[in-house]
Amino acid sequence: MSNRFRLREALSQFPPYVPGKPPVQAPGLTPFKLSSNENHLPPLPGVLDAVTDGGQIPANYPDPKSTKLVADLADHLGVEPAEVVPGAGASEVLSALTNITLEAGTSVVYPWPSFEMYPILAVARGAEKRAVPTLPDGRHDFQGLLSEIDQTTRLVLLCSPNNPTGPAITSEELDGFLAEVPADVIVALDEAYFEFATGAEAVDGLAAYRKHPNLVLVRTFSKAHGLAGLRVGYGVADETIATALRQVIAPFSVTAVAQAAAAESLGRVGEVLVRAKQVAADRDRFAADLRELGFDVPDSEGNYVWVALDPEEAVAFEGACAEVAVAIRRLTGGVRISIGPDEALDRVRTVAATFAAERRDRSAQA
Ligand SMILES: Cc1ncc(COP(=O)(O)O)c(C=O)c1O
């Protein structure tokens, strides 16, 4: 760490956040970015009008309380407005959760691999990070998570569907887990992708929230609602926790444009869900095709699939996709491919078929 300025020592320990790469251009091919789990469908009618209307007076600060959005969310979810905490994306709500719980001498428990911000936030708050490996099928290891919770633990982060591995937590798993977690430890359920879940057993966060006051839901308009560029998400929490969250979230962090677009999109949530199910159907077909080719693809309930690969294969797979102008995400243990337009997925299918044939040749020669 430079000693020119009085910066925190801990900065040198921050794991880097590596954003999804943009696609490499290839002659004659439309580039596609399947590396950030964005929604590839066009905005819903009405949402762009809301963006325009919401941005009419850029000189003014937005409503600091996001009053309309909060009221609409409370109504939609069947909770009190005091339980809804908007933020600049789920990221800000997650950051606020770590801010109200963690400090030096405390610990946070979470599955791994999972959302890359979890370890960054833990280190940023000076807390001990306790990452619990997911099971071989990409599911959370609840016994493992439980065994990492002790007196120092202030926060547990769960992710359903899990990014990047794909599976959703089941209601039974969550209820069983929460029955064992001390009632004063906050458990955050990151549901950034819940609208894409189609499995009958996928947890209904809201139902679980009603039973467990220490459960906080973290949701976003970035994924199924397709508003990632506007930065708006929200937490649903017991009023005591919600009040603490509001204390640390920067005032005015949700812009007027984001508030207006999110409220409009929420008003069209039926259409949002239909589109999410279309993405889910594409996902299931894509996952089945990759499995058919011999790849290890866990069940995914998000708008992406995870392909388990050894490190060399992952580099080669990512490179082969880049050559056909498709950016995918390489992480430890494999690659994650967001569900995009057919043309993009077909190119990845072709790459995967070539890859599978080469694998077969190699094993025949061995
Ligand atoms: C699991 C998970 N949680 C939270 C987020 C943050 O979403 P945002 O800040 O865009 O709402 C992401 C983004 O990719 C994610 O994958």
Residue-wise pLDDT for 275-284, tens only, equals 999 999 999 9
Percentage with pLDDT > 70 across the chain: 99
**pLDDT of amino acid 17:** 83
Please give the share of the chain, as a percent, with pLDDT higher than 90. 89
What domains are defined for the chain? 19-37+272-361 (3.90.1150.10), 47-267 (3.40.640.10)
pLDDT of 309: 96
Q: Are strands 233-236 and 215-220 parallel, antiparallel or unpaired?
A: antiparallel
> pLDDT of 109-141, one tens digit each?
999 999 999 999 999 999 999 999 999 999 999
How many Å apart are CA 299 and CA 235, to the nearest integer? 26
Q: What would the mean pLDDT of 39-61 be, rounded to a whole number?
A: 93
The verdict on the CB of residue 72 being under 6 Å from ligand 1 is no
Residue 363 clears pLDDT 90, i.e. is over it: no
Q: What's the sign of the alpha-carbon dihedral 90, 96, 97, 102?
A: positive
Does 98 sit in the ligand 1 pocket, CB within 6 Å? no
Question: pTM for the full model?
Answer: 0.96
DSSP string of 131-186, one letter each residue = EEEPPTTS---HHHHHHH--TTEEEEEEESSPTTT-PPPBHHHHHHHHHHS-TTSE
pLDDT for position 209: 98
- 253 in contact with ligand 1, CB cutoff 6 A: no
How many angstroms is it from 175 CA to the middle of ligand 1? 24
Ligand 1 geometric centre to CA of 192 (Å)? 6
- pLDDT band of residue 202 (cuts 50, 70, 90) is very high
φ, ψ for residue 291, nearest 5 deg:
-65, -40
- Separation between Cα atoms, residue 287 and residue 298, nearest integer Å: 8
pLDDT computed for residue 2 by the predictor: 59
State the pLDDT at residue 12: 87
The number of beta carbons lying within 10 Å of the beta carbon of residue 40 is 17
DSSP label at 13? G
Indicate the top mutation candidate among 223, 227, 255, 265 to test ligand 1's pocket, ranked by most ligand atoms within 8 A of CB: 223
Provide the pLDDT for residue 180.
98
Q: How far is the CA of 364 from the centre of ligand 1 (A)?
A: 42
| Substitution candidate for ligand 1 out of 85, 163, 227 with most atoms within 8 A of CB | 163
Q: Residue 23's pLDDT band (boundaries 50, 70, 90)?
A: confident
Ligand 1, closest atom to CA 94?
A: 4
| Burial class of 54 by CB neighbour count within 10 A (0 to 12, 13 to 18, 19+) | buried
Long-range contacts made by residues 247-251, C-beta under 8 angstroms, separation at least 24? 247/100, 248/96, 248/99, 248/100, 249/85, 249/87, 249/92, 249/93, 249/96, 250/88, 250/92, 251/64
User: Which has the higher per-residue pLDDT, 17 or 99?
Assistant: 99
Tokens of 342: 């057919």
Distance in Å, CA 357 to ligand 1 centroid: 35
Mean pLDDT of 159-181: 98
* pLDDT of 106 over the 90 cut: yes
Average predicted confidence (pLDDT) for the chain: 96
In this prediction, residue 15 carries a pLDDT of 85
Of the two residues 62 and 10, the one the predictor is more confident about is 62
* CA-CA-CA-CA dihedral for 302, 303, 306, 311, to nearest 10: -130
Q: How far is the CA of 358 from the centre of ligand 1 (A)?
A: 35
Tell whether the model's pLDDT for residue 231 goes beyond 90.
Answer: yes
Q: How far is the CA of 45 from the centre of ligand 1 (A)?
A: 24
pLDDT digits (tens, 9 = 90+) for 247-302: 999 999 999 999 999 999 999 999 999 999 999 999 999 999 999 999 999 999 99
Which ranges constitute the DSSP H helices of the chain? 47-54, 67-77, 89-101, 117-124, 142-148, 171-180, 205-211, 239-248, 256-267, 269-292, 311-323, 342-365
Q: Is the pLDDT of residue 59 over 70?
A: yes
**What CA–CA distance (Å, rounded) separates 190 from 157?**
7
Q: Tokens in use for 194?
A: 């819940």
pLDDT at 359: 87
Would you state the pLDDT for residue 346?
Answer: 98
Which amino acid is residue 202, in one-letter code? A
Instruction: Look at residue 1 and tell me whether its pLDDT is greater than 70.
Output: no
Cα gap 352→334, rounded to integer Å: 13
